[in-house]
Amino acid sequence: MSAITPAYRIDDLFADRARKIAPPTYGTELTKIITVSLTYGLADPDLFPQADIAAATTAVLTNTAPAVLNYGPTSPQLYEQLSQRLQTQGIRADRDRLLISYGSAQILGLLPDVFIEPGDVVLIEGPSFLGAVGRFFNAGAKVITIPVDELGLDVDAVEATLIDLKKQGIRPRFIYTIPTFHNPTGSTMPLSRRKKLVALAAEYGVLVVEDDAYGDLRFHGESVPSLASLDEEGWVLYVSTFSKTIAPGVRIGWACGDPAIIERLAMFKSEGPVGPFVSHVIAHYCATGKLDTHIQELIAAYRHKCNLMLDAIAREFPSDVIAVKPDGGFFVWCKLPADMSAKAILTAASEHGVTFLPGTRCYANGQGDDAMRLAFSFQPSEKIVEGIATLGSVLREFRKS
Amino acid sequence: MSAITPAYRIDDLFADRARKIAPPTYGTELTKIITVSLTYGLADPDLFPQADIAAATTAVLTNTAPAVLNYGPTSPQLYEQLSQRLQTQGIRADRDRLLISYGSAQILGLLPDVFIEPGDVVLIEGPSFLGAVGRFFNAGAKVITIPVDELGLDVDAVEATLIDLKKQGIRPRFIYTIPTFHNPTGSTMPLSRRKKLVALAAEYGVLVVEDDAYGDLRFHGESVPSLASLDEEGWVLYVSTFSKTIAPGVRIGWACGDPAIIERLAMFKSEGPVGPFVSHVIAHYCATGKLDTHIQELIAAYRHKCNLMLDAIAREFPSDVIAVKPDGGFFVWCKLPADMSAKAILTAASEHGVTFLPGTRCYANGQGDDAMRLAFSFQPSEKIVEGIATLGSVLREFRKS
């Protein structure tokens, strides 16, 4: 047999960045038969406003099909709706400070285009949402992990790092933070830390990227002002989404911040504005005024599921597995005692059909085998109870061995 | 008055590429009151299948809301529908050779990520669709323009250029071509040129990017095989869209080609897969089997409007303005005699409320003041006749002066 070696290969044509790019690791799933996945922050499918979205679609197609179906900008009404929502929350949101995107993931994915050249320094939280962080790595960023505790990002550690970097002549590009109902820990940064972080951003000339995917879903307590609402000088880029409040499948997110940043994000958004069809549908849904009522329903439902999970954990887990009670969001973060490995527990639990996200998949620096992220958002109540019971028996087995 | 100079500026944080990126010039419109715009290749709003899209939306939301509204992949059914359509046209379209995108514009916008490092050579057509070409420039490509005649891209000129570049040790990254119902000239490349172009691609190891946005809209004559269907070795990346056949506003396009390219395009598509909502809606619409009937209706309607425009041109324009009769697509390309300037005519015509795309906005090399692109796709019949009559009187004025 003789194989003819072709003179040219397709791969030779790839740019250097295309040779180096790594496929996302976030999202790989085990091949076992899983009966209760607590892994992903999926929305509860029983809570989608599908009838209202269908009605909104029919309405916009009946009344304004040319604007909805032809080439054109993202729905101006959606920009208006969003702007009003953000202003209500104390965030400056003029049209030139807003960019609607295909989910907040698109904004996070565009950040490297605007800010990162190979070797540039970015500060992230440990743990964090690696779906975003992976993009910073792909762009060649030098990523520094700052610890998160029960009050969110350790802002004193941020300051120490900024001082240290400044001594080396290094100005980081941005600090990526999830201050409210943090993913994965569920923690919420108090006002004092927020004020200090925003002040540090201005003092050191570093952008703060505030990912507020979960902020609308508060179960308990008083809301805390967003970093963006505390920012006078434009050092905060606010990023959020309708994925947790309307539906992830419609892919509507946004960024709000300095017009120069917004303009550049838009220029690197190479497919152009978010499509008229989906944006007009969501604008019409928002214009019905049903969203705020819907969010109240979501809060009640997710609060119930969160409490159910916390109660089950209290019953089923060894007492030295510490569950962090969140004030909102989709996740319960569990810290494991020193003799337990999240990865080993995951392997054992998946044999019994239960999965979760091991802490190792929330850290960019190899940490995290001492923690588990349990999503209560997706599973129905009885499956949450069943999953935690199974996980409890696996944990007790580990304790015995 | 004293202005405090801030110690830091946001702009300082931008990556070099973000400082250099130019806003798209394609899409700027004149500020006059325009009564008949023949400028853009918008779809005819009277031809949208809005009732069928509304019905498809209601159906998928009624029956499969969890898959349609939660996080998840692009509709697998849409991949299946597309794959079948492409296979019918003789194009290999296994799942790993396909990527669904937010319009074909997204694929064209992602090409530089995969293929272009600053200084890399890309071959384009002159004239061409500058919406794509601008992206290549932004990535730092050295763009070489190859002439287009009434039979499409001059493939002999491509060969001469490839030979010349090879002597210099330069291997171009790709050749961007619109072989069928070319934008803007309307020309269609005959089979002999297609075969030669595909052979050249393999011989010189250069990718051919085949933009087939208009291929389904043939008014006359026999269809010619796509470059992709002639390609045995993977040197053609086929790019197309539902923008001309279903609706631009849904933003559904795709690429089909070598799996290594598809994989990388997907990795640089930083917002993740095209959303479940819109992709399930379009998959359901396609599954009704109505698309092919709809395309036949579109062909009849656009053929009628094309003929109307050509007849009006024959009546109204000076005889030495040469209109190229297209076999399909959205545009009539008019070559002007030596004493006329498209830009000057546009200025005069816009005073009378009529606009078109001057040829200068179709060339990357400064050519094109000797041609006009007239879109018949968008305006209703009576407006086409009115617009051409106005343009005719402007042209006759130029002839007199």
> What span, in angstroms and rounded, lies between the C-alpha atoms of B218 and B284?
25
Question: CB of A331 within 8 A of CB of A373?
Answer: yes
DSSP string, A183-242: TTT-----HHHHHHHHHHHHHHT-EEEEE-SSTT-B-SS-----HHHH-SSS-EEEEEES
Q: Distances from the Cα of B51 to the Cαs of A142, A288, B68, in angstroms?
A: 51, 22, 19
pLDDT digits (tens, 9 = 90+) for B298-356: 999 999 999 999 999 999 999 999 999 999 999 999 999 999 999 999 999 999 999 99
Q: Are strands A322-324 and A331-335 parallel, antiparallel or unpaired?
A: antiparallel
The minimal CB distance from B260 to the residues A10, A48, A174 is found for A10
Query: A with B: how many residue pairs have Cβ under 8 Å apart?
Result: 253
Mean pLDDT value of segment B64-89? 96
* DSSP single-letter state for residue B275: P
- Closest Cα in chain A to B112: A15
| Phi/psi of residue B390, nearest 5 degrees | -60, -45
What's the order of all strands across the beta sheet hosting B236-241? B98-101, B253-256, B236-241, B207-211, B174-177, B121-126, B142-149, B152-153
| Residue A32 confidence (pLDDT) | 59
| Cβ within 8 Å, pair A248-B70 | yes
Interface probe, candidates B5, B9, B10, chain A, greatest A C-beta count within 10 A: B10
pLDDT at B237 over 70: yes
Mean pLDDT value of segment B371-400? 95
> What span, in angstroms and rounded, lies between the C-alpha atoms of B140 and B127?
20
pLDDT digits (tens, 9 = 90+) for B35-65: 899 999 999 999 999 999 999 999 999 999 9
Tokens of B191: 């089979």
> What span, in angstroms and rounded, lies between the C-alpha atoms of A321 and A333?
10
pLDDT digits (tens, 9 = 90+) for B150-190: 999 999 999 999 999 999 999 999 999 999 999 999 999 99
pLDDT bracket for residue B30 (50, 70, 90): very low
Q: Are strands B142-149 and B152-153 parallel, antiparallel or unpaired?
A: antiparallel
- Ramachandran category for residue B353: left, alpha or beta (phi over 0 → left; psi -120 to 50 → alpha): left
> What span, in angstroms and rounded, lies between the C-alpha atoms of A271 and A253?
15
Tell me how far the alpha carbon of residue B217 is from its chain's centroid.
Answer: 13
pLDDT digits (tens, 9 = 90+) for B119-155: 999 999 999 999 899 999 988 999 999 999 999 999 9
Mean pLDDT value of segment B19-25? 70
Question: CB of B249 within 8 A of CB of A70?
Answer: yes
Question: CB of A18 within 8 A of CB of B264?
Answer: yes
- Closest Cα in chain A to B75: A249
Spans in chain A with pLDDT lower than 70: 1-6, 23-32, 401
CATH topology of domain B11-48+292-400: Aspartate Aminotransferase, domain 1 (3.90.1150)
**ipTM of the shown complex:** 0.93
* DSSP single-letter state for residue B12: G
Check if A261 contacts B (Cβ < 8 Å). Answer: yes
pLDDT bracket for residue B19 (50, 70, 90): confident
Tokens of B130: 């500058």
| Residue B28 confidence (pLDDT) | 45
| Residue A399 confidence (pLDDT) | 80
* DSSP single-letter state for residue A173: S
The minimal CB distance from B103 to the residues A21, A248, A271 is found for A271
Q: Distances from the Cα of B215 to the Cαs of A41, A289, B127, B207, B208, in angstroms?
A: 42, 43, 18, 20, 17
pLDDT digits (tens, 9 = 90+) for B81-91: 999 999 999 99
DSSP string, B17-77: HHHHPPPP-TT---SS--SEE--S----GGG--HHHHHHHHHHHHHHHHHHHHSS-PSPHH
CATH topology of domain A50-290: Aspartate Aminotransferase; domain 2 (3.40.640)
Q: Tokens 């807003």 map to which residue?
A: A98
| Cβ within 8 Å, pair B50-A65 | yes
Degrees, nearest 5: CA angle B55-B61-B66: 160
| Residue B105 confidence (pLDDT) | 94
Query: Distance from A154 to chain B by nearest Cα, in Å?
Result: 23
Degrees, nearest 5: CA angle A204-A206-A238: 140
> What span, in angstroms and rounded, lies between the C-alpha atoms of B25 and B12?
25
| Cβ within 8 Å, pair A248-B14 | no
Q: With beta carbons under 8 A apart, name residues in chain A contacting B69.
A: 43, 45, 48, 50, 53, 247-250
pLDDT at B240 over 60: yes
The CATH classification of domain A10-48+292-400, taken from the options 3.20.20.120, 3.90.870.10, 3.10.20.740, 3.90.1150.10: 3.90.1150.10
pLDDT bracket for residue B26 (50, 70, 90): very low
Say which amino acid occupies B401: S
| Residue A1 confidence (pLDDT) | 39
Maximum pairwise Cα distance, chain A: 74
| Residue A400 confidence (pLDDT) | 74
User: B98: closest CA among B73, B114, B80, B116?
Assistant: B80
Q: Which residues of B273-299 are buried (b: 16+ CB within 10 A; e: fewer)?
A: bbbbbbbbbbbbbbeeebbeebbeebb
- Secondary structure in 3-state letters for B283-344: HHHHHCCHHHHHHHHHHHHHHHHHHHHHHHHHHHCCCCCEEECCCECCEEEEECCCCCCHHH
Give domain limits for chain A. 10-48+292-400, 50-290
Overall pTM surpassing 0.90 (yes/no): yes
Q: With beta carbons under 8 A apart, name residues in chain A contacting B135.
A: 270
> What span, in angstroms and rounded, lies between the C-alpha atoms of A346 and A37?
11
Mean pLDDT value of segment B194-214? 97
The minimal CB distance from A270 to the residues B135, B251, B258 is found for B135
Q: Distances from the Cα of A61 to the Cαs of A278, B45, B253, in angstroms?
A: 11, 11, 21
Q: Distances from the Cα of A45 to the Cαs of A49, A303, B73, in angstroms?
A: 9, 16, 15
* H or E segment and range at residue A156: helix A155-167
Q: With beta carbons under 8 A apart, name residues in chain B contacting A8.
A: 171, 202, 204-205
Helix, coil or strand: residue A93: coil
Interface probe, candidates B21, B165, B251, B282, chain A, greatest A C-beta count within 10 A: B251
Which residues 48-107 of chain B have a CB within 8 Å of chain A?
A: 48, 50-51, 53-54, 57-58, 61-62, 65-72, 101-103, 105-106
Check if B363 contacts A (Cβ < 8 Å). Answer: no
**Cis, bond preceding B248 (omega within 30 deg of 0):** no
- Closest Cα in chain B to A237: B10
Angle between helices A103-115 and A259-268 (to 10 degrees): 100
* DSSP single-letter state for residue A102: S
